[in-house]
Copies of this chain bind each other. A is one copy, B any other.
């Protein structure tokens, strides 16, 4: 697919500086762009590569335009503009409506005639698959699950039961939504399983990463708000609520019943205790430990960067003897008075 810079500028609301007739047939990074490629400059880190780019054109902010050796599409948010153009040039594969002969559909399932059910997928009785949905190879849609229109389960996705997905969601391979919450009651004879009777309610435009697990509520629902982005291998326990447009990087874990505000951002491997409330617009550095409510927006951390092990071990030893240091200071203070 090729498209002119002029048409791109019109469609994607950019100011064009350069020849409107120039044709773009692909996107590429600044450094590697061939002369038929469109590139973008969004952050200072890549500014140094702008001068030597061989791209046909670059999407960039007005303040960078003068330094651009080739044509440019000026936009206030070059990264988002690039994302939209790339999506236009490389749309996801079209839905091929119909049920593969080797898919299995329960008798009482409601599958839109415009949906695609791929090979080796299984759709249970009492599941509802909306218009233009994609249920990928090896995926399972359990009882009581509903997919809003244009939602895609890529390969080997599992919706266990009582899962409602909104419209235009993407579930990446290996994601498990609606697994039992970890509810166990201790007795002298061992653990008794606490039945998990709720569901998972996922809003519109949500993306859930590969091998991520989201448990259904014990009573009531686990809720993922509109526009939330969840990366790979994340764990979200029963009855959590994640506010709209929050983004959760890989391997984060959330214990049960925690409520996350809107537009929060979690670096990778963050751990969040249960029954907390995190307000809107909070950012956590990777691997942070969140064990108390957070009531003020801002960035939080609890991470020690690594060091050569000998130096590190000395520091840990010092840390372990902090009490002694404090006592020595007290002694000095006594003597000095």
Which residues in A have some Cβ–Cβ distance to B below 8 Å? 27-29, 32, 42, 45, 77, 79-80, 82-84, 86-87, 90, 93, 100, 102, 104, 118-122, 136-140, 142-143, 154-156, 158, 160, 170, 172-174, 176, 179-180, 182-187, 190-195, 197, 205, 207, 209-213, 215, 219-220, 226-227, 229, 231-233, 235, 237, 244-245, 247, 249-251, 253, 255, 268-269, 271, 273, 275, 284-292, 296, 298-309, 312-316, 318-320, 322-323, 325-326, 328-329, 332-333, 335-336
Contact = CB atoms under 8 A, between A and B. Distances in A.
B86 A197 contact: yes
Given A182-B209, A289-B306, A326-B325, A187 B80 contact: yes
B158 A140 contact: no
Nearest to A28: B219
Number of copies: 3
A226 to B, nearest CB: 7
B122 A137 contact: yes
Contact of A307 (B226, B244, B301): B301
B268 A286 contact: no
Contacts of A211: 174, 176, 211-213, 233
B273 A271 contact: no
B268 A269 contact: no
B275 A289 contact: no
Contacts of A83: 183, 185, 192-195
B192 A84 contact: yes
Nearest to A122: B137
Given A29-B219, A301-B312, A322-B319, A120 B122 contact: yes
Given A160-B172, A304-B319, 16 more contacts: A77-B187, A80-B185, A90-B195, A120-B121, A154-B160, A156-B176, A170-B180, A184-B229, A190-B244, A211-B233, A213-B233, A289-B303, A291-B303, A296-B308, A300-B307, A325-B326
Contacts of A190: 205, 226-227, 244-245
Contacts of A187: 77, 80
A305 B285 contact: no
